[in-house]
Structure 1
Amino acid sequence: MLSDKDYELLDQVLVKLKQADNTCSDIVLDSEEVRVLVDDFDDVNHELVEIKKIIEGFENYED
């Protein structure tokens, strides 16, 4: 299970990813950000799948 600190780190990573995508630049993660992605990969992946389902639900609702 992700801790509050892990959620904060994950949020930082997502912000960095979005900024890198918007600017077509590289992303640099510090060791703690990498740790939360590696150590909690299953939890992170599950959370992302759930978020995707919610977003798709909203998109389908708008149609």
Structure 2
Amino acid sequence: MIHLWEYDSRRIHGVHMPQMMSDLEKIGNEGWELIMVKDDIDDEGTVTAIFKRQKAEVISL
């Protein structure tokens, strides 16, 4: 049995820690796991965060 993953990228606040933690908590409650934050902070203080979560389907071998 092989588990499949889906991936997503979202812009989150990268400077304001309370806002970042709030954003991450909301995304985590959707089942997403943070796997990477890119070093691409913009003028508004946001960064690209990459997430993954397990798909409901599996492949049997």
TM-score, normalized by the shorter chain, greater than 0.5: no
Structure with greater proportional strand content:
2
Higher relative contact order (CA 8 A, sep 6+): 2
